[in-house]
Amino acid sequence: MVTLYLSGDQIQKVKDKTVKESILAEMQSRYSRNLWSSSFAGTIYDHMDVTFSWWSNEISFSYYTGNISEESSEPFFTNQFIDNFRIEYIIHSYEWTPNRLSEPITLHYNPYKISCKIWDEGYGNIIMVTRVNDSRDYCFEINQKNCRLIEVSEEKCKILKNLINN
């Protein structure tokens, strides 16, 4: 018989890693599904928007049947990915501005396309700093070329947090 003892700190690290992996897995799943299909919940869609909102700590996925140029276009399906994390900051292209972005950032995905459009024109990528379970920060990046959420290295994350805190 083997006995496994995990301290409270070790258990917290496992929980933190699980939340981080959930964020990455959910984004990868939506990206892959969009790349190979234009159908969600049995409905053909024209585009999908992913919105990151720091004040509500959520990532929203919205699917639209209408053309994006239609102002009255309402999504036929929207759901949020909410887990035990908080979006601390969202910044553009490693250029820090003194205030958190007050507007949500939206990524626009068209089915069968690798690229996406970041609604804040002029930026090639966004960086999101999250705090998991009020204990650990993780940094993620998305660029317009491949539109996949990737985890930023701990060293790069420390640099970002230093920029933010100074």
Percent of the chain's residues with pLDDT above 90 = 4
pLDDT band at 99 (very low <50, low <70, confident <90, very high): very low
Domain range enclosing 135: 11-165
Q: How many domains does the chain have?
A: 1
Q: Give yes or no for a contact between 45 and 39, defined as CB atoms under 8 angstroms apart.
A: yes
**Within a domain: 33:** yes
pLDDT band at 111 (very low <50, low <70, confident <90, very high): very high
What residue type is 129 in one-letter code?
A: V
pTM above 0.85, yes or no: no
| pLDDT over 80 (residue 52) | yes
What's the rounded Cα separation, in Å, for the pair 31 and 111? 9
**Within a domain: 36:** yes
**Within a domain: 143:** yes
**Within a domain: 70:** yes
Q: Residue 85: which CATH number? A: 3.55.40
For 134, the 3-state DSSP assignment is coil
